[in-house]
Amino acid sequence: MKSRERVIQALKHVEPDRVPIDLGGTWVSGIHAKAYYELRRYLSLPEKLPTIIDVGQQLADIDRDILELFHIDVIDINRVLEPRAPYPRKYRFVGIDSSLKEVSEYEFWTWRTPYGIDVEMPKYVEVVEREDSFIGYAEGKPFGKMPKTGYYFWGLKHALADVKTIEDVKKFDWDVGKVSDDVIEVLKKKAEYLYKYTDYALVNPFMGSPVALGAFRGLHAGGQTLRGWDKWFGDLKFRKPLAEAILDHIFEVMFYNIKKIIDAIGDYIQVQVVGYDDMGVETGPQISVEVFREFYKDRYAEVIGYVKKYSKAFTFLHSDGSIFPLIKEFIDIGLDIINPVQISAKGMEPEKLKKTYGE
């Protein structure tokens, strides 16, 4: 059985010949560059620098030898190592030295990381060393900070932390989150190429917004990214009109992007990510089912509904933590895949999940 068929079977709840395997197919099933480097060494594979595919989390792209060795069935259509589509995205931006840069997604520079190895960083990323940290820039805009003892870049600030009124919310430049037509054009070529010339199951983990923006990766996480993790809970409770206004904007961008993406590549991909939206912590859901229904359910129903209506792609949502009661809500609106299913969290015992939701 070919990889693509195997994954589709499993997602249709038909038992395939074996369990499908994913490593690096999404930004939430990847491997950190340091771990990847050690893995290659452990396996005595040819030594090479890890190539960064996710700059914030410092995830390494998976080389062909590991794809084959581990019998991996799933790839990200945006992968930068072979097998890859010969259509790199082009970046044109003003760099931190104020010069105009034009680079391809498949061009890299070697960065000596603070975590002990050198990595191949994409050229649209620049890094500035400070006394206590490194500041990362993507397309000339700061996106994160890595402590000198760190392994990852962390988000810098909450763009809407100080807004008071709906008018303030409107003033924010929401359109920066919307995907441009030339990005969609490249995405389409990549998906079409990999669909034709590989047997892998294809995932698109890209939701359309630039690297520097975490605000459009999910409704709940988006609110928290813009307002601050704890302030957002206060918004959902005490400042509902403000929360609704922010969610309307996040949703508008998310829906715009998903529509563009699905219209372009819906025929080629098997899985589309519709949210990176942590809704649980170790001990329980962050919010009640009632809050989920009040603010998020209908909006997610529209996003997921669009993907299902206009393509055969399965929908994928990431949420860490204990989210047992929310899983039913997502099933109601047609979600196919929950990642990662954190069975170490309270109330997420596999037996219980299988008994309640399995078939």
Contact set with other proteins (CB under 8 A): 132, 145, 147, 149-151, 154, 229-230, 233-234, 236-238, 281-288, 291
Could you tell me the smallest distance in angstroms from the CB atom of residue 321 to other proteins? Answer: 9
Cβ proximity to other proteins: between 142 and 150 the closer is 150
Cβ proximity to other proteins: between 264 and 327 the closer is 327
Give the whole-angstrom CA distance, residue 23 versus residue 216: 24
Report how far Cα 274 is from the mean position of its chain's Cα atoms. 9
Could you tell me the smallest distance in angstroms from the CB atom of residue 240 to other proteins? Answer: 12
Phi-psi region of 98 (alpha: psi -120 to 50; beta: other; left: phi over 0): left
Cβ proximity to other proteins: between 288 and 356 the closer is 288
Among 87, 89, 28, residue whose Cα is nearest residue 54: 28
Per-residue tokens: 122: 């994409």
Q: Give kind and range of the element (H or E) at residue 138.
A: strand 133-138
Could you tell me the smallest distance in angstroms from the CB atom of residue 150 to other proteins? Answer: 5
Among 209, 328, 354, 321, residue whose Cα is nearest residue 273: 209
Backbone angles phi, psi at 310, to 5 degrees: -105, 10
- CA 48 → CA 20, 35, 124, 168, 325, distances in Å? 27, 13, 21, 49, 44
Could you tell me the smallest distance in angstroms from the CB atom of residue 307 to other proteins? Answer: 28
Pairing type for strands 271-276 and 201-204 reads: parallel
Give the whole-angstrom CA distance, residue 180 versus residue 173: 15
Cβ proximity to other proteins: between 112 and 237 the closer is 237
Could you tell me the smallest distance in angstroms from the CB atom of residue 115 to other proteins? Answer: 8
Could you tell me the smallest distance in angstroms from the CB atom of residue 282 to other proteins? Answer: 5
Cβ proximity to other proteins: between 257 and 319 the closer is 319
Q: What is the DSSP-derived secondary structure letter of residue 280? A: B
Per-residue tokens: 69: 């060795």
Cβ proximity to other proteins: between 259 and 346 the closer is 346
Could you tell me the smallest distance in angstroms from the CB atom of residue 256 to other proteins? Answer: 28
Cβ proximity to other proteins: between 77 and 236 the closer is 236
Per-residue tokens: 322: 């204990």
Per-residue tokens: 246: 């922010």
Cβ proximity to other proteins: between 33 and 313 the closer is 33
Cβ proximity to other proteins: between 84 and 227 the closer is 227
Q: Give kind and range of the element (H or E) at residue 101.
A: strand 100-104
Q: Give kind and range of the element (H or E) at residue 250.
A: helix 240-265
Could you tell me the smallest distance in angstroms from the CB atom of residue 45 to other proteins? Answer: 23
Give the whole-angstrom CA distance, residue 183 versus residue 181: 5
Could you tell me the smallest distance in angstroms from the CB atom of residue 142 to other proteins? Answer: 15
Residue 342, classed as helix, strand or coil, is coil
